[in-house]
Amino acid sequence: MAVLGVTAALLVWVATLLLLSLCRQAHRRWKLPPGPFPLPFFGNIFQLELSDIPKSFTKLAERFGPVFTVHLGSRPVVVLHGYQAVREALLQHKNDFAGRGEYVLFREHKHRGVTFNNGPSWKDTRQFSLSILRDYGMGKQGNEARIQREIPFLMEALRKTQGQPFDPTFLLGRAPCNVIADILFGRRFDYEDGTSLRLQRMFNENAYLVSTPWAQVYNFFESYLCYLPGSHRKVLRNVSELKAYAWDRVQEHRESLDPSCPRDFIDCLLMEMEKRQYSEEPGHSLDNIAAAVADLFFAGTETTSMTLRYGLLILLKHPEVEEKLHKEIDRVIGPSRVPAVKDRLEMPYMDAVVHEIQRFINLLPSSLFHEATRDTVFRGYVIPKGTVVVPTLDSLLFDSQEFPDPEKFKPEHFLDENGKFKYSDYFKAFSTGKRVCVGEGLARMELFLFFTAILQHFSLKSLVAPEDIDLSPIVNGFVSVPPHYTLCVLPRSQV
């Protein structure tokens, strides 16, 4: 009898807890945008395809409209889908949604640096970084010259492959890695250098691992999963190692700093911080500088490297596009002059191809998570401070009105009927608003100059027939990671 009594009491207790949890959720949800009903604890995790969350968001948008809520674990996440909603949130509510949603795997950078910084120091660090990068040549001639200096090294490394198949991953990545290393700490690495290879492996590994389904689950159930073994430990180790590398560069610079002659980004940031007196405050600490350097190094290498790699694979599948590019390069630049940014004005086809590559590969389909900085009324809903907000950039890049047949690679998406370059405001591969990519100018310049130089000197050759080339990313979470492939390049003079 007593046992029955206790069991009944326990059942009532569990039922009450469940009811309370449901009531709490219902209360929180009532002013949030609509969305699928969440289970306690798990949220909507079972309604999402973890191997392709961006695709699940698109499906949910068809059901719930352009602004909807999903619960990842017990946390509500507001998803913005389509041009109007994304623009409205990131431009008209630019301060309200300028926070950075938490990435637990990058917690070491929380409140530090730029990318994952969601604290008071973000604004200052971003502004300093941008102004230093701008004065130091970002988007101006300084960077053009830097990229042009790197081109002969890249060409030489490609020539050395002697028409044999090779894995393009790290060879192509050397070029953007050297450009950003030169900006940040005045250093370029030899193409055989082991440190640069080690760093690139870490960047590459992290971009892949943080895009796997495990990482998506880990991000929202970290408190339960952190003790388990798994790939999250590798990501955390890589993040720490990269930060330690950046720390060493900052210390070296501090010891040899000559304020009358700043050499690079780190020197300028050190001087800026000195003016404000170093302190233990995250925004004014050496640790903040190290985090900013690590952020820019990772973001500045891996994104451009993946775009180059993915872009060449696309051209292998579309030899007719490569052919047209060769013709345009021969007409505008010829066989030997180093490509320059001004050539872009006369090369609408290359310009369109680079845009189409970026649109098609959809590198960061859900951008990076934003966060509401205050309680915000958006389209009649109330989005509480601290809610993660996801601007789905893929919904703009794959808009079928703006880009007919969006699933197809068609440079014509960016060309008018006269073959002139056609701007599209839906091209938001670098996002928009307060958190827009810090390296947009540099990345655009690098992509144009590196693609042009490669095709000026080489023809691409695939080991498989174009129709057998699969362009689907190997994982599609945080980043759309390009598939592995083997490339052959033949000097054009021999073709």
Query: In the complex, which residues of this chain contact ligand HEM (CB under 6 A)?
Result: 100, 114-115, 126, 180, 295-296, 299-300, 303-304, 307, 363-364, 367-368, 429-431, 435-439, 442-443
How far is Cα 154 from Cα 495, in angstroms, rounded to an integer? 20
Q: Which is nearer to ligand HEM, 143 or 216 (CB)?
A: 143
Task: Give least dist CB 116 to ligand HEM, A.
Answer: 8
How far is Cα 481 from Cα 307, in angstroms, rounded to an integer? 10
Beta bridge partners of residue 77, listed in sequence order: 70, 388
Residue 488, marked binder: no
How far is Cα 413 from Cα 355, in angstroms, rounded to an integer? 9
User: Rounded to the nearest 5°, which phi and psi values hold at 99?
Assistant: -75, 165
Q: Provide the Cα torsion 415, 90, 303, 199; round to 10°.
A: 170
Residue 34 carries which DSSP code?
A: P
Task: Give least dist CB 43 to ligand HEM, A.
Answer: 23
Q: Which is nearer to ligand HEM, 133 or 332 (CB)?
A: 133
Q: Which is nearer to ligand HEM, 100 or 253 (CB)?
A: 100
Specify the residue for token string 């900052």. 250
Q: Which is nearer to ligand HEM, 203 or 458 (CB)?
A: 203
Task: Give least dist CB 438 to ligand HEM, A.
Answer: 4
How far is Cα 58 from Cα 313, in angstroms, rounded to an integer? 26
Cα 379 → chain centroid: 28
Contact 282/116 with Cβ under 8 angstroms? no
How far is Cα 267 from Cα 250, in angstroms, rounded to an integer? 8
Q: Which is nearer to ligand HEM, 412 or 440 (CB)?
A: 440
How far is Cα 415 from Cα 353, in angstroms, rounded to an integer? 9
Task: Give least dist CB 269 to ligand HEM, A.
Answer: 13
Q: Which is nearer to ligand HEM, 25 or 476 (CB)?
A: 476
Q: Which is nearer to ligand HEM, 321 or 437 (CB)?
A: 437
Task: Give least dist CB 490 to ligand HEM, A.
Answer: 27
Task: Give least dist CB 92 to ligand HEM, A.
Answer: 15
* Single-letter amino acid code for the residue at 325: L
Q: Which of 270, 276, 275, 274 is CA-nearest to residue 250? A: 270
- H or E element: which one contains 71? strand 67-72
Contact 303/115 with Cβ under 8 angstroms? no
What residue is closest to ligand HEM based on CB? 439
Task: Give least dist CB 176 to ligand HEM, A.
Answer: 7
Give the three-state DSSP class for 475. Answer: strand
Both structure tokens of 263: 């050499």
Annotated binding site for heme: 437
Numbered residues of the known binding site: 437
